[in-house]
Amino acid sequence: MQSTRWLAGLALVALTPLAAQATTATFDFYGNGPLLEQASTLPVFTNGALSLEVGAKAKGTSAQVVLSNTGLGVEGGAFANSIESNTGDALTLTFNQTVNLSAIQLSYWDKDGWLTTGDRATLSWGGNTLTLGTGSLQGTSGWESTSFSLSGVVGKTFTLTATGTGTQFRLAGLSATPAVPEPGTWATMGLGLLGVAALAQRRRRSAD
User: Is 0.95 topped by the overall pTM?
Assistant: no
Q: Tell me: the pLDDT tens digits for 96-127?
A: 999 999 999 999 998 888 778 889 999 999 99
Residues 16 and 107 in one domain: no
Strands (E), the chain: 25-28, 38-40, 44-47, 50-58, 61-63, 65-68, 71-74, 83-84, 90-107, 120-125, 128-132, 146-149, 154-163, 168-178
Same domain, 139 and 85: yes
Same domain, 79 and 138: yes
pLDDT at position 19: 45
Let me know whether 1 and 76 are in one domain: no
User: Which residue type does 30 have?
Assistant: Y
User: How many domains are contained in the chain?
Assistant: 2
Q: Are residues 186 and 205 in the same domain?
A: yes
Residues 38 and 66 in one domain: yes
Query: What's the confidence (pLDDT) of residue 157?
Result: 98
Looking at the structure, do residues 122 and 173 belong to the same domain, yes or no?
yes
Closest-CA residue to 122 (of 169, 79, 75, 78): 169
CB atoms closer than 10 angstroms to residue 77 = 23
Q: At 15, is the secondary structure helix, strand, or coil?
A: helix
d(CA 194, CA 39): 54
The pLDDT tens digits for 56-73 are: 999 888 999 999 999 999
List alpha helices for the chain, DSSP H. Answer: 2-21, 183-207
Same domain, 189 and 175: no
What residue numbers bound the domain in which 138 lies?
23-179
